[in-house]
Amino acid sequence: MVVEVPTRHVPHLIASRPPLVCKIGTLSILFCNICVHVQSTNYPSQQSGKMFNKQLISAATALSLVSGVFGVGCDDPTATIKSAADATQVANCDSIKGSVLIDRNAGPDIDIGGSLQEIGGDLTAENNGLLSSLRSDSLQTIGGTFSLKNVTKLSTLNFPQLGEVGAIDWATLNALPEPTFGNPGITKAKSVTIADTFIENIDGINVQSLTDMNINNNRRLTKFSTSIKSLSNTLIIQANGLNLTMEMPNLEWIANMTIANVTSFSVPSLHTVNGSMRFDSNYFTTFIAANLTEIQDGDLSFVSNPEITNISIPSLERIGGGFTIANNTALGKLNGFGDLNEIGGAVKVRGSFTDVQLPALKDVKGAFEVVSTEDITNACNTLNGLKGGVVQGDFNCHGKDANANDDTSSASSDGSGSGNGTSNKKNAASPVGTSMSTLYTLVALGSFVAALL
């Protein structure tokens, strides 16, 4: 497409795709897919060359000013969507090799459905208070992170064909009740983080294997059922809806797990935990992991779960770290660990129970403490047989202690009594921090002096 540039007027520019070559006299010029035609009038011969050059320079200058205005390219490192028209250009690509960024002022409706099936990089919308609807009926793959952060008016998120993402990272979505995915939904991702949203249901995320999952502070989320089979790093579920029920029927092994503020939690297939498993401030009455046989390197802890009356892990044989049961005030008996043979750290069992049974226990690497508000004389008489040969650290068992539920610190993984031990590390780090701060200051001062010279 040709842009006419009259000699006595400001150049007028029109975008064109695909690239065209424009002829000016005997010259052919291509400026970023925009052609410029200098329409000259008759000037005295001595002036014509100068006037032609001026017009060409004016056109080139104008082109440079608008070079970023036209065109969202399929091969751009980052295709930025500022309007519905930009979204249409993105949707017309079969794939975007780079990332797609939705500008903070774009909205209210952005639709990138059409030909687009793949985004090689990230799909990002952040700090946008205008966007209310984001959708695509064609997008299947996001190679990078699907990131939505502080998009406070987003109420519709519809991606029925999306099955694979590099990661999901959503935070502060105050108007989104439920994302809409197809069946089976998203089945491939490395990590999922959903925090501080009004989302009520995320059943469309059906990833089989993950590195990390962090679902926290979603106050309206009351149910989550997922087909995840393995988590190679960490699962964190905490501070969501008060009546959250969580079902993970296919989960077989996990590295680390922290579950808090959950009303129901089910892991019937879980057989191995590589790291630690922690349950803090939950509302379920029963926890059963019938197939769990080993916690390899970390801790097992149940702390401040006020309604739990039964903990049953009957096939568990080994805990690699510490074993903590503390301040579970409704737990009357601890008798669900019939096969527990080895504990690699310390044992701290404190509460209001009347009975503690660990019949198969043969090796405790650290200290052993059982304290109750109730009379546990009979239990202590049985457990006294563990002193010396089985328990390698200090031994303490007694009842009728009014303060038994006050201490909720964790049993140490390394065999010592309670294991905090952070103050020395902080003190040791202080000189290093001071030295680095001084070094940064000296470098900055040197750069300032060099600039003056």
**Residues 186/207, Cβ–Cβ less than 8 Å:** yes
The mean pLDDT value for 40-59 works out to: 45
pLDDT top residue among 143 and 57? 143
| Mean of all residue pLDDT scores within the chain | 83
pLDDT top residue among 57 and 77? 77
CA dihedral 324, 325, 327, 331 (to 10 degrees): 180
Helices marked H in 329-422: 377-383
Q: Phi then psi for 28, rounded to 5 degrees?
A: -120, 125
Of the pLDDT bands very low, low, confident and very high (cuts 50, 70, 90), residue 425 is: very low
Q: Is 13 helix (H, G, I), strand (E, B) or coil?
A: coil
Cα distance between residue 293 and residue 254, in whole Å: 13
Whole-number percent of the chain with pLDDT over 90: 73
Question: What tokens were used for 430?
Answer: 């202080």
Cα distance between residue 405 and residue 402, in whole Å: 8
In the block, which residue shows the tokens 């694979």?
164
Alpha-carbon torsion 426, 431, 432, 437, what sign?
positive
Element (H, E) at 56: helix 45-66
Q: For residue 32, is pLDDT > 90?
A: no
**Where does residue 223 rank: exposed (0-12), middle (13-18), buried (19+ CB within 10 A)?**
middle
Which 8-state DSSP code applies to residue 351? E
For 188-206, the pLDDT digits (tens) are: 999 999 999 999 999 889 9
Q: For residue 418, is pLDDT > 60?
A: no
Element (H, E) at 326: strand 323-326
One-letter amino acid at 386 equals: L
Strand 22-24 to 27-29 pairing: antiparallel
Q: Name the β-bridge partners of 318.
A: 294, 342
